[in-house]
Structure 1
Amino acid sequence: MGTDVRQDGHSGEEATLFVARRVDPGYEEQFEVWARAILRAAADHPGNLGTGLLRPAGPGDPWHLLLHFQDAESFQAWQDSPARAACFAKADGHHVEVARRELLGMEGWFATTAAGARRTPAPRWKMAIASTLAIAPLTTTANFYLTPHLATLPVLARSLILAPLISTLMTYLALPVATRLLRRWLFPN
């Protein structure tokens, strides 16, 4: 089992837990019910910013659970919570953790992409370049096409419209594409 736990003074940064679990053949349905229950419990926990479940890439490959928290303190509170303990008390024993990574800051964002899921996090300077390459076309397009239509709105209102739009496109479109295109540079063998 691999562990990448960092405790190097990055307090206040977002914390992401990325866990791989191997499921016994024939128990996939039961595991998915359990996984969705623990992710729901985590989503209800204070400081949670989102969860995700990635199905196996192929037969015998592990399932991946993703839990994202606003900071290391929220993440630790989840780890120590009665809700988490109750979920594990209901585990049926037909799945086992095979990998676990606890990541801080941008590392967690890159770990959620297919290219980053099974690799050591890229150096932060590479993540910053990849993020810039992903977000630049989004902000340019938004400024060119949307800003003229929003020009009569106050700056705060424009920001409240553009920020979630760009953030969503960055998370689900631009960053996965940039990470896939730059995977050999971001995650060299």
Structure 2
Amino acid sequence: MSKQIKSVAIPDEIVMDKIFMIRNQKVMLDEDLAELYGIETRRLNEQVGRNPDRFPDDFMFKLSEEEFGDLKSQNATSSWGGRRKLPNAFTEHGVLMLSSVLNSKQAIQVNIQIMRIYTRIRELLLTHKDILLLVEQVEKKLIKQDQKIEVLFTYLSKFIEKENKPRVPIGFKTKKED
């Protein structure tokens, strides 16, 4: 019989607001994860530092100055003020790996919630991918139609220009008509 872990009750929206797109990956920052786990950022990073083999580059990376500056300006917040080091960004796999180095019940429960949210995001993206493909097909057809309409108008404008010029009569002229 499995033992039920008491729920931490963090609203999903709060967790989702802490997922950022950096280097074309969905990541969470060390400071946000530490807050969710109920520990200090320093402690989280100490555990990561003690287990470097568990966090390869595709699980965790350090933000550059530019990325960190962009992130702060996008979110118009100064909650990251006072940091001495650039934050670590954890991919989905990195967040999962954190549960093996942080062994508190709250960390385990929060990780379960984060994994469920990542799964929901992935499902939403797959569902909307089909819709996105249909929209792209319609856009391509519209572009082709726009090009055809543009060609049609070009030909029409040439005909209109020709109608404005006097036409040369066709046929034979008699001496009287000269």
Normalized against structure 1, the TM-score is what?
A: 0.25
TM-score by length of structure 2 reads 0.26
Q: Which structure has the greater CA radius of gyration?
A: 2
Larger strand proportion, structure 1 or 2? 1
